[in-house]
Each structure stands twice: as structure tokens, then as C-alpha cells.
């Protein structure tokens, strides 16, 4: 296979691009493209053995500004695919730091967390992963809490728990009935007793979020009128980090904000201008105390 031959000649034998091109009868440009493809496909993995962070100064500044325990920052780049890979790699590093062996980890709904989990290397930690909410309906996208819990358990040779309930019940009464179910109560109690929370932060600046995008215009209008700036685990909060209660909140099946605050280590993974209001509120109010983000978002949070 040409791709493998080019990769081995460059990385194992130390040949230059031109030497490889001459040996295989290729152009130098094609060799460069093949080497890039080898990295992007995962055929070649480069590991840099250093402890220094890419953005140590900014991470320390965010920790000081918001009283955080730890911050990890990925580089912001214009290419969306490269930016996503960078965030996933840095996020995987963060997960490796916060998931302790044989611990219990609570997991929230998040596409950002899903991308990080996909990049997390397999390692035998034996941890338990528990959803903090029920799951959204519709096509599976890997971002539902039970999907994330199962994926993490498979990568760590641990165990996963399933919460047999919807994220948002059809009515207040249906949510109350779900919370009264012994199986749901047991899983939520286990999630509330976790040592670590891993979740995304949803914003209200646009409707692309998993939860906000599933709501009708009337519900979104009510949330904004009530001062909602973001959500974590389906629980919306205002600029001070206080819960935004009402009909929607009463229909959510999962831990409340006060219960989430009771988890000692609370890691949020979120990037982008649309998340800034939500992130500022979550960080300032102590809803989360650890953060994975990118350099552009970090600069905005510090500015």
C-alpha cells in the first residue's frame, strides 16, 4: 500500500520528502499529501512527551479569574475539522486526568463530550459511568448520556448505567412519575454521589443546541424571557447561575443544579461565541470548576 510505504520511509527510515519521491517515482507534492493523509487517517500517531501546556499562561489566568481547579485549552484554527480534532485531543487529556480508577463519573448530554470520548484512548480504569439525565428521543447521535456512559465504560473496561427515562417528559406529571420509579431513583442517586461530573454547556444565543433546538418557539421565548443564558444537563440557569424554573424544568428527568453542584469535580467541555454567556455564568457561579475550551473562547472569557 502506497500510503503505508510513504509513511514508513519518512517516519521509520528518516528519508526526506524528495528522497521518497525519487525512490517511488512520485512528485514531492504528492508525498507531502500522502504523509498528511497518513496522520489524518490515524495510520500515523505522533506523541510528544512533554508536560508543558500549549496555553499555560491563559489556563492559569482562567483559573485565577473564575476560581477553577484546572483548565485545558486547545488551539483555535480556521479549519473546522482540525479545530474539532484539537479540542478532542486536549479533552481526552483532561478526561485522563479527572477519571480516577474505580471511581463513579456522572455524564451529561453533549456533542462536545461525545467528540472527546471518541478520542479517549482505551485504558483499564474500571470506573463506573452514570447518566445525569434521561435521553433525548430520535436518531442516536452518540451525545445522549447513556450512549456516552456506555462508550466510556467500553474504553476503560468499566461499567455503565442506563437511566430508563426521557430527557424531557411529555408533562409535569409524567416527569414526576419517572422520578418516582425505583430504577430511575437508584441511577440518579448514584449519579448524585459521583466524584466527577463530565458535561457540556448549552447556550441560548442560537437554536443549534441539542436541547434548545428540540424546543418549540413558544418554549424558547419563555426561557429567554425568564433570563436563561444556558443549560447543563437539561437544567437552564440565568446569568447568576440560578435555576430557571417553570413548566419545562418540571418536565426534565434528571439531577437538579443543586445536586450537580454537590459533585466535587465538575468538568465542562464547551467552545464558541454562542456559549460565552452560558460559560461566564457557569464559571462565575461555581456550577463547574474545571474547563476544556479553545484559545479563542478562553481569550473572550478573559476579556
Compute the Cα dihedral for 23, 25, 29, 33 and give only its sign: negative
| Structure confidence at residue 51 (pLDDT) | 60
Q: Are residues 166 and 35 in the same domain?
A: no
- Per-residue pLDDT band at 292 (split at 50, 70, 90): very high
- Which pLDDT belongs to residue 50? 56
Same structural domain, 136 and 76: yes
- Domain region containing 89: 56-302
Same structural domain for residues 242 and 154?
yes
CA 263 – CA 265 distance, rounded (Å): 6
- List, for residues 181-202, the tens digit of each pLDDT value: 999 999 999 999 999 999 999 9
Are 160 and 232 found together in one domain?
A: yes
Do 249 and 213 belong to one domain?
A: yes
Question: What pLDDT does 11 receive?
Answer: 87
Domain tally, the chain: 2
For residue 146, CA distances in Å to 98, 211, 233, 264 come to 19, 16, 12, 21
What average pLDDT does the chain have? 91
Q: What is the pLDDT of residue 142?
A: 67
pTM (whole model) above 0.85 = no
Convert the pLDDT of each residue in 138-162 to its tens digit. Answer: 545 568 899 999 999 999 999 999 9
| 149 and 97 in a common domain | yes
Dihedral sign for Cα atoms in the order 217, 272, 260, 282: negative
Task: Write the pLDDT tens digit of every residue in 14-73.
Answer: 889 999 999 889 999 999 999 999 988 888 887 766 566 778 999 999 999 999 999 999
Residue whose C-alpha is closest to residue 228's, from 216, 250, 244: 244
Q: Is 242 helix (H, G, I), strand (E, B) or coil?
A: coil
Do 61 and 30 have their domain in common? Answer: no
In a domain, 259, yes or no: yes
Q: Which of 77-81, 115-119, 130-134, 246-250 has the lowest mean pLDDT?
A: 77-81
Q: Is the dihedral of CA 158, 164, 165, 166 positive or negative?
A: positive
What's the mean pLDDT in 87-92?
Answer: 92
Q: Are residues 34 and 62 in the same domain?
A: no
179 — pLDDT class (breaks 50, 70, 90)? very high
Residue 95 vs residues 233, 236, 252: alpha-carbon distances, Å:
18, 25, 27
Please indicate, yes or no, if residue 163 is contained in any of the structural domains: yes
- HSE-CB at 142 with a 13 A cutoff on CA atoms is 10
Whether 33 and 61 share a structural domain: no
Residues 127 and 242 in one domain: yes
* CATH number of the domain within which 193 lies: 3.40.50.1360
Amino acid at each position: 500500500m502506497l500510503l503505508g510505504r510513504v509513511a514508513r520511509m519518512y517516519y521509520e527510515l528518516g528519508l526526506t520528502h524528495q528522497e521518497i519521491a525519487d525512490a517511488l517515482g512520485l512528485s514531492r507534492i504528492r508525498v507531502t499529501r500522502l504523509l498528511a493523509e497518513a496522520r489524518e487517517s490515524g495510520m500515523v500517531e505522533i506523541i510528544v512527551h512533554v508536560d508543558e501546556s500549549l496555553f499555560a499562561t491563559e489556563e492559569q489566568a482562567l483559573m485565577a479569574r473564575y476560581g477553577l481547579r484546572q483548565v485545558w485549552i486547545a488551539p483555535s484554527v480556521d479549519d473546522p475539522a482540525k479545530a474539532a480534532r484539537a479540542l478532542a485531543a486536549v479533552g481526552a487529556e483532561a478526561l485522563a486526568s479527572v477519571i480516577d480508577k474505580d471511581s463513579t463519573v456522572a455524564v451529561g448530554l453533549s456533542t462536545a463530550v461525545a467528540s472527546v470520548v471518541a478520542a479517549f484512548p482505551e485504558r483499564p480504569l474500571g470506573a463506573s459511568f452514570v447518566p445525569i439525565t434521561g435521553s433525548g428521543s430520535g436518531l442516536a447521535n452518540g451525545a445522549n448520556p447513556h450512549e456516552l456512559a456506555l462508550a466510556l465504560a467500553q474504553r476503560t473496561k468499566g461499567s455503565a448505567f442506563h437511566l430508563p427515562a426521557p430527557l424531557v417528559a411529555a408533562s409535569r406529571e409524567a416527569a414526576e412519575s419517572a422520578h418516582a420509579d425505583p430504577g430511575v431513583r437508584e441511577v440518579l442517586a448514584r449519579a448524585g454521589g459521583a466524584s466527577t461530573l463530565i458535561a457540556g454547556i448549552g447556550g441560548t444565543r442560537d437554536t443549534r443546541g441539542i436541547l434548545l433546538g428540540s424546543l418549540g418557539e413558544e418554549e424558547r421565548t419563555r426561557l429567554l424571557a425568564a433570563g436563561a443564558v444556558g443549560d447543563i444537563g437539561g437544567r437552564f440557569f440565568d446569568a447568576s447561575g440560578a435555576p430557571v424554573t417553570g413548566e419545562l424544568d418540571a418536565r426534565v428527568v434528571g439531577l437538579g443544579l443543586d445536586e450537580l453542584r454537590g459533585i466535587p469535580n465538575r468538568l465542562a467541555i464547551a467552545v464558541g461565541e454562542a456559549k460565552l454567556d452560558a460559560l461566564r455564568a457557569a464559571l462565575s457561579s461555581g456550577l463547574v470548576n474545571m474547563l476544556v475550551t479553545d484559545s479563542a473562547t478562553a481569550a473572550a472569557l478573559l476579556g
